[in-house]
Structure 1
Amino acid sequence: MGVIVNLDVMLARRKMASNDLAERIGLSQNNLSRIKTGKIKAIRFSTLGALCRELDCKPGDLLDYIYDETDELDDFEPEE
């Protein structure tokens, strides 16, 4: 299953509309939607930091990980 994005949960807790959040952090509504639905392969630390700043939360409030034996490391590139 892998990484789970809980951005929609935090938006609901903060009673904030996603278009307001996108505007505050300078992200397009389309890109924020892709993050919210987990249809991304990567996120910049600067974007994650901006989300945390505006939602007054920590990265662990936005992201979770659920281990599944079918998870593959095909896209993983270890640092040298």
Structure 2
Amino acid sequence: MSIVVNLDVMMAKRKMSMTELSHKVDITMANLSILKNNKAKAVRFSTLEAICKTLDCQPGDILEYVNDEDNKKKDL
């Protein structure tokens, strides 16, 4: 099982740059990049809350569960 971060999709929908989101959420560009590029192992609820508030979205708009078995079937 995998959790996919669709932060880039929501940022594009809201026409917000990483720099702008970084400043509004008070998160470093490096940490935001790790999250955006699906490299994060965890995310604090306070960070997720700040991102959702800034982007006016729900956590489910950013985080998506993807079943690895479904992905393997698609690759065949």
In structure 1, give the amino acid aligned to 2:67.
Y
Once residues 36 and 17 of structure 1 are traced to their aligned partners in structure 2, the CA distance between those partners, rounded to angstroms, is 12
1:26 matched to 2:26? The reply is yes
Residue deviations 1:31-58, cap 9 Å, x none?
Answer: 0000000111100000000000000000
TM-score, normalised by the number of residues in structure 2:
0.87
Unaligned regions of 5+ residues in structure 2, if any?
Answer: 70-76
Q: Within 2, Cα distance between the matches of 1:20 and 1:9?
A: 15
- Return the TM-score normalized by structure 1: 0.83
Q: Percent same amino acid at aligned positions?
A: 52
Structure richer in helix, relative to its length: 2
Moved over 2 A (4+): none
Ranges in structure 1 where 5+ consecutive residues have no aligned partner: 70-80
State the 1:68 CA deviation: 1.3
Match of 2:41 in 1: 41
Aligned length, in residue pairs: 69
- Aligned equivalents of 2:8, 2:47: Cα separation in 1: 16
RMSD: 0.9
SS in 2 for 1:32: helix
